[in-house]
Amino acid sequence: MAYVTIEKPIDHVSLITLNRPERMNAMSFDTVGPLYEAFASVAADNDTHCVILTGAGKGFCAGLDLEDHGVPPNAEGLTMSRIAIRAMEYMSDLVPTMRAMPQPVIAAINGPAYGGGMCLPLGADIRIASSSARFRSAGVTNGLAGTELGVSYLLPRLIGASRAFEMILSGRVIESAEALESGLVSRVVPDEELLPAALALAEQITGWSAHGVAMTKKILWSNLEAGSLTNAIDCENRNQLLVRLTTENLAEAIRARREGRKPDYKD
């Protein structure tokens, strides 16, 4: 059985599914490897303009499989401490890998997202949850640190420091309604409407210039780390000029509006 699947349910949209439902799509090194491969394959696909990430079955991802997580690749002959470092880096690089993809990534969170399974969608650009979705930072509940996969950087920026600290330190379960209210997700829909809602949003995004969307994503992420408003605006200006001067997109958008049709971008 493939632990990760890729489909194209509609034009220009790739659907990546964590496919280990009998373990609530828990992470092991056997599943993370195929997930990296899926990200790389889709990122390199010029016909894919938007990506949806979801889980098979009743859960999004239960985090690390504590019963059978295996060992990271290329660990033969290493000491235990080096294996531990390699394992952590291998898992945590998933989030910057998603960030580096040129296409927007929509996480369609279809049930429990615990531990690393809560952190993973923080690397997506948009998060939509089903009404049955639940979130939990599980590190402290397992006697470990609650900081992993970039959660200490991303979560405070999404929901504010106080709420993020409480969520990570308490290990309590966050229901979908609270996730929406806090800004952890941008929308909550009934379970059966989750994938249709994600596909509809993806289809809307793919109606725009793929180049313009990719450059917008790049700047949105870059400016999360900007040192000042001035730095952020300078970055935006250069990005806008690059797209404006290297494509005919603006002229086509104006023509399309005048002619009452959908733009046909050639970038």
115-131 pLDDT, tens digit per residue, is: 999 999 999 999 999 99
Q: Is the pLDDT at 77 greater than 80, yes or no?
A: no
Contact predicate 61/27, CB 8 Å: yes
In the chain, CATH 3.90.226.10 sits at 4-206
Taking alpha carbons only, the member of 203, 213, 182, 197 closest to residue 107 is 197
pLDDT number for residue 128: 99
| Choices 1.10.1740, 1.10.12, 1.10.10, 3.40.50: CATH for 210-259 | 1.10.12
Q: Is the pLDDT at 88 greater than 90, yes or no?
A: no
In the chain, CATH 1.10.12 sits at 210-259
Which residues make Cβ contacts (< 8 Å) with residue 6, sequence separation at least 6? 14, 15, 16, 17, 38, 41, 42
Taking alpha carbons only, the member of 29, 28, 27, 3 closest to residue 17 is 3
pLDDT number for residue 213: 97
Contact predicate 122/155, CB 8 Å: yes
133 is written with which tokens? 């979705």
pLDDT number for residue 259: 92
Task: With cut-offs at 50, 70 and 90, classify the pLDDT of residue 244.
Answer: confident
| Digit-coded pLDDT (tens) for 172-197 | 999 999 999 999 999 999 999 999 99
78 is written with which tokens? 């290493």
Q: Is the pLDDT at 105 greater than 90, yes or no?
A: yes
pTM for the whole structure: 0.92
Backbone φ and ψ of 44, nearest 5°: -85, -5
Contact predicate 29/82, CB 8 Å: no
User: Is 3.90.226.10 the CATH classification of the domain at 4-206?
Assistant: yes
Which residues make Cβ contacts (< 8 Å) with residue 2, sequence separation at least 6? 19, 34
118 is written with which tokens? 């809560």
